[in-house]
Amino acid sequence: MSLLDRPIQEIHDGLRKKDFSVRELVEASLQRIRAVDEQVKAFLTLDEEGALKKANALDRRLAAGEAGGLLFGIPAGIKDNIVTKGVRTTCASKILAHYEPIYNATVMDKLDAADAVMVGKTNMDEFAMGSSTENSAFFPTRNPWDLERVPGGSSGGSAAAVAAGEVVFALGSDTGGSIRQPAAYCGVVGLKPTYGRVSRFGLVAFASSLDQIGPITRTVADAAYVLQAIAGHDPYDSTSADVEVPDYTAALTGDVKGLKIAVPKEYLGDGIDEGVRRRVLEALEVFASLGAEWEEVSLPHSDYAVACYYLIAPSEASSNLARYDGVRYGVRAEADNLLDMYKQTRSQGFGPEVKRRIMLGTFALSSGYYDAYYLKAQKVRTLIKRDFERLFERYDVVIGPTAPTPAFKLGEKVDDPLTMYLNDICTIPVNLAGLPAISIPCGFSDGLPVGLQIIGKPFDELTVLRAAYAFEVHTDHHKARPAL
């Protein structure tokens, strides 16, 4: 077994027993990246020197008998929209192709405090806008299970890196499903925490009321470890919630007796692949055998979620991306006057999908259309949130598929943005309502991984993790590995 194939707890046991060193662990990660990343293309930037330097420092502490942090020595990949001091942060865009931040995101400081080791920055859809990682300005990432298929997006590089065994865990960001959908496509675990549970300070903004950082891992227990390390209130983030962080590992009991599960009929209706539907129903049978109870319910406003999201998210993106004007940082186009410099910089620096969303958002916010589009979408968002609130009065979790189909082929939907947008139909309502949700492997359809989505009450990641862990320990889906 590869050192990187072990869960975090087992790696820590091996380090304590001196079966291997942190340097050997990090070198195994870098060696694996050199061996397979030419095919997978999960990484945009590697920080070999920084990773090995930190590994040596951690080994010295280990030899001195010092107690280590929660993620001591664990190699990690970081999505390239999370700023890293002194390490290039591009958002997979031309406009930030050479940007080196002078500060760390709060999650990076927390990972440093937990003694994790960043080996590099992972590929993504440009500015996190996309569902396939084909919108990267540099190159598309490929799915380790089938190199002719997409890994999902926008955190496709992070999911592919974990699935390919290049790192033990990765961080992604989730605005409308960008952690959970690629986790489903790549057969790994992806956790989107409650909005405000993890600081967004240092996350390059796409849609500020929707974005949330979370972990992508091989197992549910590993996701609990990483969430424990990165969760908590941050005074640098005004949307960070001052809510106590519980012990997430305490949720890993395997017991779901009496758990009440809601299964929305809208999540298993038209447009859901038959193989995906079967895997979800089989998963519900596993829960029933463990003493949980499930019932079909309705989320009546979920049909409007995609339309609602594609007004709110582009509107916020239009505002957030106005700062890329060639004046302060990033690429600057040569021009004869200021106005032309603005136009040329943004024309040359942004890709087609980013331009599309900026234009959609600017239109929705423009005079005469604000009330008809953006304000109406916010009202619908409230109705979607209330649907969940009503369900959670009677049920503990909501369960359904993470994505309507398994991974599609590279290039298959590039010219059809509407079909691409509908790919997030199962994940978007969770972001609109600000809820926690996890995607875990629940089997295969046509040889490709299928993800099961478990949605919880606000700040109740404990119950989400408890349900996910119970399913994981009673099945073997998470043990499957792609034949790279």
Instruction: Point out the residues that are catalytic.
Output: 79, 154, 178
Q: Pick from 208, 149, 212: which is nearest to 180 by CA?
A: 212
**How many CB atoms are located within 10 Å of the residue 65 CB?**
6
b/e per residue, 386-404, with b = 16+ CB within 10 A?
ebbeebbeebbbbbbbbbb
Do the beta carbons of residue 246 and residue 382 sit within 8 Å? no
**How many CB atoms are located within 10 Å of the residue 236 CB?**
13
**Which one-letter amino acid corresponds to residue 97?**
A
Do the beta carbons of residue 127 and residue 164 sit within 8 Å? no
Q: Which residues contact residue 141 at a Cβ distance below 8 angstroms, ignoring those fewer than 6 apart?
A: 40, 41, 42, 123, 133, 150, 151, 156, 157, 160
Cα(6)–Cα(167) distance, integer angstroms: 11
Cα(460)–Cα(6) distance, integer angstroms: 27
Cα(374)–Cα(378) distance, integer angstroms: 6
How is residue 120 written in tokens?
């590099």
Do the beta carbons of residue 103 and residue 182 sit within 8 Å? no
Cα(108)–Cα(105) distance, integer angstroms: 5
Q: Which residues contact residue 406 at a Cβ distance below 8 angstroms, ignoring those fewer than 6 apart?
A: 185, 273, 275, 276, 444, 445, 446, 448, 449, 450
